[in-house]
């Protein structure tokens, strides 16, 4: 063996933990900046209140839960356009069972989540076996699941008796020491769990690998189809949970709820650094992305901005966020 010299060595950039933090801090700084801007702008300083924080956090729960699932799906290189419909279907199923009063309330809640899981399983199975691109598969199921929701609800809002389920999304929680609503704590706990799944488990590495390069995953002997099915099922379960929370928030089963939520959910992932081409994304970034959108809407409402202005601003934020992301990656 010849003596080793470093003549052929290319300069190798070091791994920079600081950069990784910056990747995350970009959206976080934006969130803080937006919050502070509204804080100064809203008259009487009412935006600085704990009430606002409770409102924003509670209003973020439904989108954030689904967006965690979407993060996984998008990291694996897929997309799920049917989340809004899954949320509505789960919401209606919970309301239907609560209204019937035959099953215990917890079982109704579990059924809602389970239905979401089944929807996700169906999405995943079709993506993996029919070899149709996920965009098309879930465009189809967007219609199917919404139709099922309308069918279960007989095209009407299902009114239900009050149960403990409705307390999940109380902005002022019952034991006051909770500070935030139980739904927010649930979302935080799940976010931590998902973070661990993505970063610390073999499954997490496999999800990244499938999205980063499906060919490589196949070459390494990963069961790509099974991983995709799991990812979509997990996404469906989380969307089902979102549906449960939506029911808790609305106190009724509304089959037309959550229309267009899929776009908010995707936007949250994208603002948080996710990519439509797979391989990148982070749970923390996604949560921040969801919070940015709620903060904007909430602040805009308090400023008395018309709805259209809020829509325009959120739209612009998405484009700016992705542009900044691209610039940062090009700069390396």
Partner 1 sequence: MAAEESTTSSSPPPLLRMEGVSKRFGPTVALDHVAFEVRRGEVHALIGENGAGKSTLMKILCGELRADSGAMFLEGRPFRPTGPLDARRAGLSIVHQELSLAPHLSVLKNIVLGLEDTRAGFLHRSTNRARARAALARLDHGGLPLDSLVGGLSVGLRQVVEIARALVFESRVLVLDEPTSSLSQGDAERLFDVVRRLSAQGVGIVYISHFLEEVRQVASRFTVLRDGRSVGGGAVGDTAEMIHLMVGRSIEDFFPRVDKEIGAVAMTVSALAGPEKPIEASFPIRRGEILGIAGLVGAGRTESLRAIFGLDRAASGTIAIAAVRGGQPFAASSARPDRSRRRGLAMLSEDRKGEGLAVAMSVADNMTLSAPERVSRFGFLRLGERSRRVREIAGGLHIRSATPGLPVQNLSGGNQQKVALSRLLFQDADILLLDEPTRGIDIQSKTEIYLEIGRLAQQGKAIVMVSSYLPELFGICDTLAVMHRGRLSRPRPLGEWTAESVMRYATEGSGE
- Interface residues with partner 1 (CB under 8 A)? 1-2, 4-10, 12-15, 200-203, 205-206, 208-209, 212-213, 215-223, 279-280
CB of 221 to partner 1, least distance (A): 3
Residue 173's contacts (CB-CB under 8 Å, 6 or more residues apart) are 167, 179, 180, 181, 182
Phi, psi of 26 (to 5 degrees): -50, -60
* Closest CB to partner 1 among residues 280, 283: 280
CB of 90 to partner 1, least distance (A): 27
CB of 175 to partner 1, least distance (A): 33
How far, CA to CA in Å, does 71 sit from each of 42, 81, 157, 166, 234? 33, 13, 31, 27, 11
* Closest CB to partner 1 among residues 61, 280: 280
DSSP 113-154: HHHHHHHHHHHHHHHHHT---HHHHHHHHHHHHHHHHHHHTT
CB of 17 to partner 1, least distance (A): 8
Q: How far is CA 188 from the centre of its chain?
A: 12
* Closest CB to partner 1 among residues 197, 263: 197
Give the C-alpha separation, 245 to 286, whole Å: 18
Of 20, 19, 21, 39, residue with least CA distance to 31? 39
For residue 180, the 8-state DSSP code is S
CB of 211 to partner 1, least distance (A): 9
* Closest CB to partner 1 among residues 163, 212: 212
User: 294-307 burial, b for 16+ CB within 10 Å, e for fewer?
Assistant: bbbbbbbebeeeee
CB of 11 to partner 1, least distance (A): 9
* Closest CB to partner 1 among residues 102, 332: 332
Angle of the 182-200 helix axis to the 202-212 helix axis, nearest 10 = 70
* Closest CB to partner 1 among residues 2, 260: 2
CB of 203 to partner 1, least distance (A): 6
Q: Give SS3 for 160.
A: coil
* Closest CB to partner 1 among residues 171, 328: 328
């Amino acid at each position: 063996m010849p003596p080793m010299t470093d003549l052929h060595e290319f300069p190798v950039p070091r791994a920079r933990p600081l950069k990784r933090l910056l990747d995350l801090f970009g959206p976080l700084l934006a969130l803080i900046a937006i919050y502070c801007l509204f804080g100064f702008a809203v008259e009487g300083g009412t935006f600085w209140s704990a009430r606002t924080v409770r409102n924003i956090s509670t209003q973020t729960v439904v989108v954030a839960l689904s967006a965690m699932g979407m993060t996984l799906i998008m990291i694996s290189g897929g997309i799920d356009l049917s989340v809004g419909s899954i949320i509505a279907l789960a919401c209606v199923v919970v309301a239907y069972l609560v209204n019937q009063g035959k099953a215990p309330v917890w079982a109704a809640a579990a059924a809602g989540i389970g239905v979401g899981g089944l929807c996700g399983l169906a999405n995943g199975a079709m993506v993996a076996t029919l070899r149709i691109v996920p965009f098309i598969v879930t465009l189809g199921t967007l219609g199917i699941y919404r139709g099922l929701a309308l069918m279960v609800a007989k095209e009407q809002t299902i009114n239900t008796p009050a149960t403990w389920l409705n307390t999940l999304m109380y902005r002022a929680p019952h034991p006051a020491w909770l500070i935030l609503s139980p739904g927010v704590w649930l979302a935080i706990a799940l976010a931590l769990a998902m973070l661990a799944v993505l970063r610390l488990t073999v499954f997490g590495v496999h999800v990244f690998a499938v999205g980063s390069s499906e060919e490589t995953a196949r070459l390494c002997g990963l069961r790509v189809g099974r991983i995709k099915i799991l990812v979509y099922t997990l996404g469906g379960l989380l969307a089902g949970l979102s549906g449960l929370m939506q029911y808790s928030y609305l106190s009724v089963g509304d089959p037309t709820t959550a229309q267009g939520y899929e776009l908010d959910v995707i936007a949250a992932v994208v603002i948080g650094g996710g990519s439509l081409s797979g391989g990148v994304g982070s749970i923390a970034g996604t949560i921040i992305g969801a919070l940015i959108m709620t903060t904007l809407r909430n602040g805009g409402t308090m400023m008395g901005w018309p709805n259209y202005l809020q829509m325009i601003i959120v739209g612009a934020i998405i484009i700016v966020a992705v542009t900044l992301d691209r610039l940062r990656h090009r700069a390396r």
